[in-house]
A and B are shown apart, each in its own frame.
Chain A
Amino acid sequence: MLELTPPRSVECTLCPKACRLVPGQRGDCRVRYNDEGKLYSLVYGKVCAVHVDPVEKKPMFHFLPGSRAFSIATAGCNLHCLFCQNWEISQTDPEDANNTDMPPEKVAALAARSGCSSIAYTYSEPVIFYEYVEDSASLARDRGIRNIMVTAGFINLEPLRRLCKVVDGANVDLKGFTEKYYREVCFGNLRTVLDTLVTMREEGVIVEVTNLIVPTLNDDMATIHKMCKWMVSELGEEVPIHFSRFTPMYKLKDLPPTPVATLRRARDTALDAGLKYVYTGNVPGDPGEDTFCPSCGKMVIDRYGYRILKYDVVDGKCGFCGEAIYGLF
């Protein structure tokens, strides 16, 4: 058989991009490279961002509300969204980032020492620092610390199922609901992300969804309604969705910030489609930040930005009528 492939080439099977790399070449994510026929990660234990954040910042509104999440990121990403809000670290080579050495043992120890209930793998894309997430998450579990992924969900099913064994919660970006949008604005595909969401639910991960609304690109209410209907039928009506406000950034500086009225319209659309927990994001003080009981309609969590002002959830149930509230409390 005619063999056109150079020797010692590899195919990365972590995400659907399936980068085929000859020796010396790195993947689309910038952090995996082929050295003489072996694929290496360049970012294992090398964080470029570390913060202690309120878990609400992820945003995770139904995962230990009011707790703190030890948040880490490495350089790189397997998507290249034109609106990326963290492009300084996600769209850079790891050797150009200002990295700190933080092996998994240290991640778990620092999270415990700083009083965090969870570790959030966030800011860039945890899929591309897969091995690091898995090892850190396992060690954190041993210390009773939970694990959260804030991800675009662009990953193959086999590695995803394995990761779900150590991940407790996930906020998945559902960036739009058309293949065209994913292809042209994010350089990925929608089908994979939908599969990821369904798989995470099957594996028992507490899932929340974020949809960043970018003016003129994905603010069509009919599409948003279709997306919410899909969520109701495939994920369940209790899965929360956050409609986040876009700020001009990276390669979309020519667009205006999302009008608050658009976010509120999207929220109404989602409620109309049957979703129970619908939030607006990046608009501190908006009534869309609060959690309402889907049964009695009373406010059970009153928020201002990332702060909780009032909390009426008792043992995971509404403090007024006893209805179960989705999530981990």
Chain B
Amino acid sequence: MKRYRKLPPAAAALLIGLTLVLIILTGWHREMVSRYPVADMPYVDMDRIKIQIEEGNVGRTEALFYRKNYAGADTTEIR
């Protein structure tokens, strides 16, 4: 019966490392070409925004087109 030599630990670690790198790279690539951004709307850092508004780097004006309580509450309106 043919005997196989055991893989040296360093080679095994290298193999695992390369595989991980490959997965990460592939993941980044997939995200780059296929992610639909709407699914990833970020939360605002409210404290930072308030500071920026006070400092005048960003503004704060009510939007013209939106629907309040969109899920059907009786205050629904389009501005």
Contacts and interface: CB of A to CB of B under 8 A. Distances in A.
B14 interface: no
Interface in B21-79: 32-34, 36-38, 41-44, 46, 48-49, 52, 56-72, 78
A19 to B, nearest CB: 6
Interface stretch (A27-35, A117-125, A171-179, A293-301): A27-35
Contact of B66 (A12, A26, A46): A12
A99 interface: yes
B79 to A, nearest CB: 8
Interface residues of B, number: 32
- Band of interface residues on A: 35 or more
Given A5-B70, A42-B60, A99-B58, A12 B65 contact: yes
A10 B67 contact: yes
B53 to A, nearest CB: 8
A10 B76 CA distance: 9
A26 to B, nearest CB: 5
Nearest to B66: A39
Interface in A1-38: 1, 3-5, 7-14, 17, 19-21, 24-28, 30, 32-33, 35, 37-38
Given A26-B42, A28-B41, A14 B67 contact: no
A265 interface: no
9 contacts: A10-B68, A10-B69, A14-B64, A19-B41, A30-B42, A45-B59, A94-B57, A95-B49, A158-B65
Interface of B: 32-34, 36-38, 41-44, 46, 48-49, 52, 56-72, 78
Interface of A: 1, 3-5, 7-14, 17, 19-21, 24-28, 30, 32-33, 35, 37-46, 80, 82, 94-95, 99, 101, 130-132, 134, 156, 158-159, 184, 187, 251
